[in-house]
Structures are given as structure tokens and as C-alpha cells.
Structure 1
Amino acid sequence: MTKSGSFCTPLLLFLVWRAGEVAESCSCSPKHPQQAFCNADVVLKAKVVGRQEIVTGNDVYGNPIKRIQYDIKQMKMFKGPDREIDAIFTGPSSAVCGVTLDISGKKEYLISGKLESDDTMHVTVCDFVQLWESLTMAQKKGLDSRYQMGCECRIIHCASVPCAISDPAECLWTDWLMENSVEGPQVRHYTCIKRNDDSCAWYRGATAPKKEFLEIEDP
């Protein structure tokens, strides 16, 4: 299973216990799924059909560098290169930001990640990786078009008061403050979209916002 709410940027903390031995841990800063979409190189829907551990070289101490390769069946590309992706790569454990996915081919996933220099897709627990069935209708609509409409906006995470926006192109994300969760209503039902006066505001609705959209519904 994936780590719920893991749509963030990885921070690797290296603690040297003694010469030649390094312990790693993975920490994620909160991100709205719209931010994860806009920051990702690739966002796709897929089933996972296979898994293998591969060695990509050695570290400075001569230890093998391992990665997990998940073979996938791509079902839909929301953002990414004009080609099919048949595999994604991740770390061998959650300690180094690796994700664990079901390989039965029975579960559908929404997976976001980065393209590496060798053009392969790399995914961490801090990327937006969710079971497709767990996504709300608003999140699915966001993947189709709405999130892209808001990529010029900035979402400001409010973890404690006081907090406020400093620019009209920002939306204040208050889920943690109001719901004590980073998966509250704004994550599940809202998109931060640029309006025709170049300001940004939260939008909620069952249909895509009109081009001349100016008014909003408060979250």
C-alpha cells in the first residue's frame, strides 16, 4: 500500500554512525495535490504488474546502490512525455523514501514522479501516490485540467496562526489548522485557480470553472 498523503518533497537526512556506515531517513513537507501535480514531471494512472530489485552501481563506500523497479501497465497519462511509461523506480525501503505498491495488477494507482537524467521515472513516498479509488471526483477533475490551470498560483500551507497570503497570486491552505489533517476539504475538493484579474482563489464545483471565472465559494 502507498503512504497516505505523501505528496511532498523528500528530505534525506544523513547521520554517520561510524566510518563506512550511513543511516538514512525520509521526511516530507506537506503539499496540496495540486502542488504535487504542478511540480511533477510525470503524472499517470496505472496498474502495477511486476517488481524486481536492481543494482545501479556502488556508493562511495563500495556498497551496492539498490533500487526497486515496478513494471506498470499505463492506463492514462495526465502529464508527462509523449510516450508510454512501462516501469517506475523507487528506493528499496521507506527509510530512503521508497514506495511499496501492490503488484497483483488488480489495483489502479495515481502515480506522480520525476524524470531522471536517463529518462526513467523515479517515485518517492513524498510524491502524490494514491489508490485511484480513494481519489475524490474533484481530485480526478483536477488531474484532467483544473490543477494545470492553477500552476501559476502558489498554495501557502498554514500550520499555525497567524498566517496570511502576501500576494494576490496565493491561496491559503488551512486544512491542518481547521481539520488537524493535511487531507481536509481543500485537498479533497478544492483547486487554487488563477482568475482573469491575475489573482488566485480556491474553486469548488462539479464542473470546470468558466473562463471568465471571478467569484469563488469559500472553503
Structure 2
Amino acid sequence: MRAIGKHGADVGMDDIAAEAGVSKPVLYRHFNDKSDLYVAVGEWGAELLMRRLRPLFHENGSPNQRIRRLLDAYLGTIEQYPELYRFVVQRNFADRPVHSDPVSAEKTVIANSLSRILGEYLRLLGLDSGGVEVWSHGVVGMVQASGDWWLDRQSMSRSDLTDYLAQIIWHAIDGVLRSAGLVIDPDEPLEISDQGLRVVAEAEEQEAEHG
């Protein structure tokens, strides 16, 4: 990790060995080859990110607060470790196909966590949850692609990027809810109960009555 931070995503085995204060043969006692080392670094990076994201999936708050917290944690991590991110995503270091792809594994874990949350809320609202996996993987892919672009361009602040992505994500969710006749304030705490659902339904009915 120190070698990647110092030499960038194009770090070589000589750089890593020198940073560790050992020879390359010593490194190869611990890792079969460069691809094995790449996987280990990728798994370390994925676990670092998930340690920051996991608690946020279970924190309460309004939809906007919850969306923004997750986005900010992700973007903050790749901003803090840009060379590690490039090292893992670009895969240039690995000299053969890897037996496990840390990037795909990380995206799947995040998408599955998001699917569980979205599915739970949609079912409590009485809506079809069949599309949550598609939505979740789509959202994760969009955020990653946006993060790639942002790291390379740096044409806006992290806060502005978070705002744009949060807006896109919420409007997608809001569209699904409105198609089922439900209107939720994205800035109000989201506490679903029978009473809460009746209040939402009544508000929608009143809006329809008054044009």
C-alpha cells in the first residue's frame, strides 16, 4: 500500500520489494505471482470500503440523508486512496487472469446490500420488489462510472458530484413511488408504519381532490 501511494497505480514489484525492505524472491514466498498480490491488495481495498459503507446501510434518516451518506463515503474513500483505486480497477498489475475479481465482488456486495434495503421498503409499501436487483446493480455501476470520470477530470467538487448523483438516484426512486400513487418527502425521516402509510395515502388523495 505504501508503494502504491508513493509510485502510483503503475507500481512494479521492484518498487514494492524496496518499500518492504526485502528482495523480490522474499515477496514470492508470500504470493505466488503478481496476480496473487493484486488480488490481495484488491481484497484489502474492498474491505476498507465496506467497513465504511456497512454501518451506513442501517442508519436511520430521510431518504436524501441516507443516499448522500453512502455516496459521500464511497467518493470520500476513492478520493483518499486514488492510486489504490486505479491500481485495482485498471488491473494492469496482474500478469494473468485472476481467480477472483475484487472489483466485481465488491460491486456485488454493495448491490446486494442495497437490494435488501430497497426490497424491504417496497414490500412494506405494498409495491412490487421484483426489480430491486436490476436497480441496485444499475445504481452501483452508475456511481462507479461517475467516480472514475471524477477522479480523472476533477472538474467539480466531491460535494457537487454527491448532489448530482443523489438527485438522480432519488428521482428514479420517486418515479417508481409516484407511479404507484405514493408521494414521499425525501427530506423527512423515513419511518414506515401502518399509520405512516395511511398518512401518505391521505395526502395523495387530498392532492388529487384539490387538483
TM-score (norm 1): 0.24
Larger radius of gyration: 2
Q: Which has the higher contact order (CA 8 A, sep 6+)?
A: 2
Structure richer in strand, relative to its length: 1
Structure richer in helix, relative to its length: 2
TM-score (norm 2): 0.24
